[in-house]
Amino acid sequence: MLVQIYEVQTPEEAMALSALGVDHIGVLVGEGAFPRELPAEQVLAIFAATPARSRRVALSLSPDLTEVLRVIRETRPDIIQVQASIEDLPPASLREVKARYPQVAIMRAIPIVDAGCVEVARSHLGVADFLLLDSYDPQSRQFGALGRAHDWALSRRVVDEVRIPAILAGGLGPDNVAQAIAVAGPAGVDSKTRTDRADERAKDLDKVREFVRAATRMAPGAAAAG
């Protein structure tokens, strides 16, 4: 079970998370338009300190393909996570990313709202290396970092019907991640809000430790049985 943790702020934090067994070290990249968004030079320092056992994930919230390409060029991640709306960055745009940077895996965030998410996910076959199944608020149009879960049964449909490794996100913490895995059967799980410190300025390493422990406690095949 892959474990992905956002939003890493310092090289020391990246090293500590990797030591706890975190597989994907996630950093939000940008010029400060969003809280805890870091410029490329700081991201490079974090990625340089990330131990080889963990993969380095750069998250771009930008709907601009040129900006996504800049993030890749300037931070050199192992994985680029694209979180813009599907309309702004459709599969055709991600094919251009893959053509320019074939060595970088693409993680495409999919909003889990209704049964239509299955076809949206399927449209990324041959383009995305991972799907991130995340919560979406239609009223605010916020995608991710909501701190609340969505319908895991819908995510299970994506997992079962679309053959792209899926990472489950949205309101996951130490207390509910095992249940989420049992229901959705993902390849991995992601946590941001519920493994933050109370001041939201850094990760709570105790919460991350418990999250990793709960996520990896699931025996192989246990998720499928759920």
Cis peptide preceding 7, ω within 30 of 0: yes
Distance CA 81, CA 201 (A): 21
Distance CA 216, CA 114 (A): 28
Distance CA 93, CA 176 (A): 35
In tens digits, the chain (226 residues) has pLDDT values of 999 999 999 999 999 999 999 999 999 999 877 778 999 999 999 999 999 999 999 999 999 999 999 999 999 999 999 999 899 999 999 999 999 999 999 999 999 988 989 999 999 999 999 999 998 656 545 455 555 677 899 999 999 999 999 999 998 999 999 999 999 999 999 999 999 998 878 999 999 999 999 999 864 444 443 3
pLDDT at position 144:
52
Distance CA 122, CA 130 (A): 12
Comparing CA positions, the residue from 208, 219, 201 lying closest to residue 5 is: 208
Locus of tokens 């889990």:
112
Bridge pairing between strands 142-143 and 136-137: antiparallel
Q: What is the pTM of this model?
A: 0.91
**In what helix (H) or strand (E) does residue 22 lie, and over which residues does it extend?**
none
Q: Could you tell me the residue ranges of all domains in the chain?
A: 2-225
The architecture that CATH gives domain 2-225 is Alpha-Beta Barrel (3.20)
Whether 15 contacts 50, CB under 8 Å: yes
Comparing CA positions, the residue from 104, 105, 60, 57 lying closest to residue 85 is: 60
pLDDT at position 36:
83
Distance CA 109, CA 107 (A): 7
55, 90, 110 from 105: Cα distances, Å: 10, 16, 16
